[in-house]
Amino acid sequence: MLHPGGGGGTVAAYSPLLDLLDEDPTIFAFNAIDFDRHSIPASSVSEIAENYLTQLRSVAPNTPCCLVGWSAGGLIAYEMACQMMTTGQKPALLGLIDSKPLLRDGFSEQDWRTEFNMFLKFIGWLDVSLAAIQKTDMGLVLESTEQWLDQIHENISISAKNNTPVSRENLSYVQAVFRSLQSAYAAYKAPSYEGRIELFIPSNKDTTIIDFWNSRVGLNLLTTTNGDHYSMMTKPHVQSIASVLNNRLRQIIVMQKDKL
């Protein structure tokens, strides 16, 4: 499981999906966040993918692997698969959940803050029903970065009823990781891939994402879900994603047994 980009790259968003996987696979989750060292990931998808592949091979050198990534995490999974192909390997499954390169020259300060706010709401650190959060949304670029983060941290504390899940120092770090990752995703140019992908998109998604991957991958297996980019990863919408992955895992297990 490869972390999405929003909010600095945590894998917590996969929890609803993991609850529904019934083949009991061994899960390796790649997090960009390292609160112990406060390290910042490279602003390059290819470098991130190379690093994660090295880690994966160190713990599972000969085991067939399935790479799954939601949002920008799908770009890392895709690049890992492309790098594997250069050594004559390929993942047993490559699942991209509403993933597509951003392909933009840069972000405005309001873009950074808007995306960061959306993720904090998605993981529940910000309570969207509170007037204080709505007020902060309306003033995204009125304060300096430090003043804005001070306000965000105060709102997180209010949302959590003063049981704040993250320190002010760590909130600043998460936002720095987020900016580095977003820069990497914006610059990534996906190469062609000689394999197949499992592509999951919301049912209301336009066809540009399908056209994009069709231009780079020979065989795409498409699954549409209810919800939008964020809610598709929550119950009950995530059930359709889990059903496909469970079917593919069963097929992979059968194929491996046949080889023994």
Average pLDDT score over residue span 117-135: 80
Full strand arrangement of the beta sheet holding 66-70: 66-70, 93-97, 193-202, 217-225
Backbone angles phi, psi at 196, to 5 degrees: -120, 155
Rounded to whole angstroms, the Cα distance separating 19 from 63 reads 23
Contacts of 3 (CB under 8 A, 6+ apart): 9, 10, 11, 29, 30, 31, 32, 33, 69, 73, 76
Tokens of 11: 């894998």
What's the pLDDT tens digit per position in 148-180?
A: 899 889 999 999 987 889 999 999 999 898 888
Cα dist from 233 to 30, 140, 205, whole Å: 17, 26, 15
Low-confidence winner among 9-18, 93-102, 134-143, 155-164 (lowest mean pLDDT)? 134-143
Q: Name, of 23-32, 117-126, 127-136, 138-147, the range with top average pLDDT.
A: 23-32
Alpha helix (H) ranges present in the chain? 15-18, 45-59, 72-85, 109-122, 131-138, 145-159, 168-187, 208-214, 239-259
Tokens of 165: 């899940």
If one counts every other C-beta atom within 10 angstroms of the C-beta of residue 103, the result is: 12
User: Would the pTM of this model clear 0.85, i.e. be above it?
Assistant: yes
Inform me whether the pLDDT recorded for 139 exceeds 70.
Answer: no
Low-confidence winner among 64-78, 83-97, 207-221, 230-244 (lowest mean pLDDT)? 207-221
Average pLDDT score over residue span 20-36: 87
Contact 226, 201 (CB under 8 A): no
